[in-house]
């Protein structure tokens, strides 16, 4: 079993080869492989099923012991036509990767969650069969690496899970003409009914033509051709000039939202002067996300986000989903329970997940895996990963918010340390400079600096037998003054920063622990021993959220059980613990049309200076 789906569905060519499947494999615990040149020949000890990590059952190895250096090798056959290039793509390799082709080192990459590509056209030797070798180094105990929820002590414990080492997303080859489309970015403008598209042409030559044909529900709505003067280009198309969109303009018939996930298909044709033609299939969604009056607006309307925290782990394959159906199952079950999206926690999710989020209508908050300490190496690693994250995922309409920091992970003194505060501000501004189309947080949970959303974590709802604590919880959530003045852990804003009227969302809470199969094992923030108790606990906690006059959304912890954490609404194998309709009914609380929030910073400062008590 291996992943067979097209890895980049938003930028698709027909001529590609999947390199997943059986590879030769060896552990290199003494780190001798480079010195002994294993890429030229080696007595391979095992077989592994790529793209599953050796720690997983689906890899065929299923070994959770610590091996920081691993090697892979396989052969492939290919032939290139004249003026044709061959690209070698890696979806993700955790953490450091070195790659050899026919004994030649062709490149390296660091970063465990992002994609990378090598143009191997010039490295191909004369023979038809070629040998591809990969060395992956993943030092488990290096706390400067951006590992997210992967443990750094050698075993799964608490909120930290089993490691993923080496290749964990699809490896594939792609043929393209020498002069071809390299990348595109979409900038939808729903206020004017237009789309701006910027792009890059690989191996540009003068008089190359680029044509974009845009269709909606199989009807052509725009076709634009231009002859760029350089490798970069920009084109625009008026989508409201067609009668079908005048009809749909006022009823969201052409906008993207979770309720109406409308998408436009695009075919790009790049034609060089010699007649060589490249064709790429793509798509985009017309949607707008912004904040105003203390609320988040989707497509210029206040939008209450009901999200779940999604860890993105599977029992037999860890970070790698077993197939596309697994992505669809998670999204569909989440929507059945009355949620409209997910915060993708401490993991940059596979593009195939984001594709189904686009197609099915599912809001996503994109979040990068964190390092565990604050050092220059950890900082530079995170900067680099964010550049690659935004480059890869910019075009997905489902992503509406970027979350670069969670609960001060990697910036443990940010509440008082100006250097660490500068780092969170730098990330905030870096991401905004690269992506003007989305919201950006600074530090989800507490000790926030510059941020578009006031994101609060609060699990202090007590148990079902502690009515006093529960009533305090309800009171804390009832108004923005009480939320700011009653933080459960650290102050909501770091020293020197204050609340200035941002939308307030409760971005972690709940966590009802309920192990249906083994009540003695696993943990949660509160507990249940039966379906009835589980439902009662969920309703009790969500009622406090629904009674708030200031919250504009929430993120419930969490979608599914993950290893020793049994906080899920679903079991680890994605079975609902209770009828999804019951959870959906609890989520259908009344949302006030006007969410109270301060309009001026001075009002907030006055409240804080007065030391308002709830």
Using alpha carbons, select from 437, 349, 428 the residue that is nearest to residue 397: 437
Strand partners, 233: 199
Residue 230 has a CB neighbour count (10 Å cut-off) of 9
Please tell me the distance from the alpha carbon of residue 393 to that of residue 353, in angstroms, as a whole number.
11
Structure confidence at residue 518 (pLDDT): 75
Domain 180-275's class?
mainly beta
Give the confidence band of 519 by pLDDT, cuts at 50, 70, 90: low
- For residue 223, give the 3-state DSSP assignment: strand
pLDDT, tens digit, 9 for 90 and up, residues 181-214 = 999 999 999 999 999 999 999 999 999 999 999 9
Structure confidence at residue 613 (pLDDT): 30
Please tell me the distance from the alpha carbon of residue 265 to that of residue 181, in angstroms, as a whole number.
16
pLDDT, tens digit, 9 for 90 and up, residues 105-115 = 999 999 999 99
| Residue where the block lists tokens 């609340």 | 499
| % the chain with pLDDT above 70 | 94
Strand partners, 180: 202
Strand partners, 73: 24, 133
Instruction: Give the H/E segment covering residue 527.
Output: strand 526-527
The full set of domain ranges for the chain reads 16-175, 180-275, 302-610
List the structure tokens of 221. Answer: 């709505």
In terms of pTM, does the model score above 0.85? Answer: yes
Structure confidence at residue 3 (pLDDT): 84
Instruction: Give the H/E segment covering residue 194.
Output: strand 194-202
DSSP state of 368: P
Using alpha carbons, select from 292, 282, 293, 187 the residue that is nearest to residue 236: 187
Fold assignment, 302-610: TIM Barrel (3.20.20)
Strand partners, 105: 100
Q: Does the structure show a pLDDT above 50 at 38?
A: yes
Q: What does the CA dihedral 104, 107, 109, 114 come to, rounded to 10 degrees?
A: -100
Q: What is the mean pLDDT of the chain?
A: 92
Q: Does the structure show a pLDDT above 90 at 525?
A: no
pLDDT, tens digit, 9 for 90 and up, residues 490-513 = 899 999 999 999 999 999 999 999
Q: Is the peptide bond before 95 cis (omega within 30 degrees of 0)?
A: yes
Dihedral sign of CA atoms 120, 126, 132, 137 in order: negative
Please tell me the distance from the alpha carbon of residue 539 to that of residue 598, in angstroms, as a whole number.
29
| Residue where the block lists tokens 């080492």 | 165
Using alpha carbons, select from 287, 335, 326 the residue that is nearest to residue 308: 335
pLDDT, tens digit, 9 for 90 and up, residues 60-95 = 999 999 999 999 999 999 988 888 999 999 999 999
Q: Does the structure show a pLDDT above 80 at 536?
A: yes
List the structure tokens of 200. Answer: 């890059």
Q: Does domain 16-175 have CATH number 3.40.50.2030?
A: no
Structure confidence at residue 516 (pLDDT): 84
Q: Does the structure show a pLDDT above 90 at 592?
A: no
Instruction: Give the H/E segment covering residue 269.
Output: strand 264-271
Structure confidence at residue 609 (pLDDT): 34
pLDDT, tens digit, 9 for 90 and up, residues 140-169 = 999 999 999 999 888 888 889 999 999 999
Max mean pLDDT range (20-34, 516-530, 579-593):
20-34
Using alpha carbons, select from 614, 608, 586, 306 the residue that is nearest to residue 471: 614
Q: Does the structure show a pLDDT above 80 at 477?
A: yes
């Amino acid at each position: 079993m291996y992943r067979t789906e097209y890895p980049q569905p938003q930028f698709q060519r027909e001529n590609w080869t999947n390199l997943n499947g059986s590879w030769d494999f060896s552990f290199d615990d003494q780190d001798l492989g480079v010195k002994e040149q294993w890429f030229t020949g080696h007595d391979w000890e095992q077989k592994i099923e790529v793209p599953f990590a050796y720690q997983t059952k689906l890899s065929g190895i299923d070994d959770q012991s610590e091996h920081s250096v691993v090697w892979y090798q396989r052969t492939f056959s290919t032939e290139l036509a004249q003026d044709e290039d061959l690209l070698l793509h890696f979806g993700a390799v955790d953490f450091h990767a070195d790659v050899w082709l026919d004994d030649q080192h062709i490149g390296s990459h660091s970063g465990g969650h992002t994609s990378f590509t090598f143009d191997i056209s010039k490295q191909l030797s004369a023979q038809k069969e070629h040998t591809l070798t990969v060395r992956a180094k993943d030092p488990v105990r290096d706390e400067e690496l951006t590992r997210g929820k992967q443990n750094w002590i050698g075993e799964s414990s608490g909120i930290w899970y089993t490691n993923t080492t080496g290749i964990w997303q699809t490896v594939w080859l792609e043929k393209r003409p020498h002069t071809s489309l390299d990348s595109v970015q979409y900038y939808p403008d729903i206020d004017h009914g237009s789309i701006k598209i910027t792009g890059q042409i690989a191996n540009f030559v003068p008089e190359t033509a680029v044509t974009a044909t845009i269709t909606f529900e199989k009807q052509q709505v725009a076709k634009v051709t231009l002859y760029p003067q350089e490798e970069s280009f920009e084109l625009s198309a008026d989508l409201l000039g067609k009668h079908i969109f005048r009809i749909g303009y006022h009823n969201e018939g052409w906008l993207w939202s979770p309720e109406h996930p409308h998408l436009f298909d695009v075919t790009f044709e790049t034609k060089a002067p010699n007649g060589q033609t490249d064709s790429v299939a793509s798509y985009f969604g017309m949607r707008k996300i912004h904040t105003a009056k203390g609320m988040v607006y989707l497509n210029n309307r206040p939008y209450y986000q009901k999200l779940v925290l999604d860890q993105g782990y599977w029992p037999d394959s860890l970070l790698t989903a077993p197939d596309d159906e697994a992505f669809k199952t998670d999204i569909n079950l989440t929507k059945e329970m009355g949620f409209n999206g997910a915060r993708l926690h401490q993991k940059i999710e596979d593009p195939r997940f984001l594709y189904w989020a686009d197609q099915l209508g599912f809001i996503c908050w994109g979040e990068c895996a964190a390092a565990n300490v604050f050092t220059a190496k950890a900082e530079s690693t995170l900067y680099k990963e964010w550049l690659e994250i935004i480059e890869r995922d910019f075009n997905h309409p489902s992503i509406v918010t970027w979350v670069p920091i969670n609960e001060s992970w990697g910036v443990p003194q940010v509440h008082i340390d100006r250097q660490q505060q500068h780092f969170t501000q730098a990330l905030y501004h870096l991401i905004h400079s690269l992506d003007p189309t989305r919201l950006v947080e600074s530090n989800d949970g507490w000790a926030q600096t510059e941020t578009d959303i006031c994101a609060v974590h609060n699990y202090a709802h007590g148990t079902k037998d502690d009515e006093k604590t529960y009533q305090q919880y309800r009171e804390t959530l009832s108004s923005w003054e009480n939320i700011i003045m009653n933080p459960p852990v650290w102050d909501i804003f770091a020293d020197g920063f204050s609340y200035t009227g941002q939308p307030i969302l409760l971005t972690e809470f709940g966590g009802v622990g309920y192990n249906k199969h083994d009540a003695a094992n696993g943990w949660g923030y509160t507990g249940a021993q039966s379906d009835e108790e589980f439902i009662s606990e969920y309703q009790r906690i969500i009622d406090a959220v629904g009674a708030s006059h200031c919250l504009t959304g929430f993120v419930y912890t969490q979608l599914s059980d993950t290893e020793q954490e049994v906080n899920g609404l679903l079991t680890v194998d994605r079975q609902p613990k209770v009828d999804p309709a019951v959870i959906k009914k609890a989520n259908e609380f009344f949302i006030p049309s006007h969410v109270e929030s301060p309009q001026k910073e001075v009002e907030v400062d006055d409240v804080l200076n007065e030391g308002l008590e709830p």
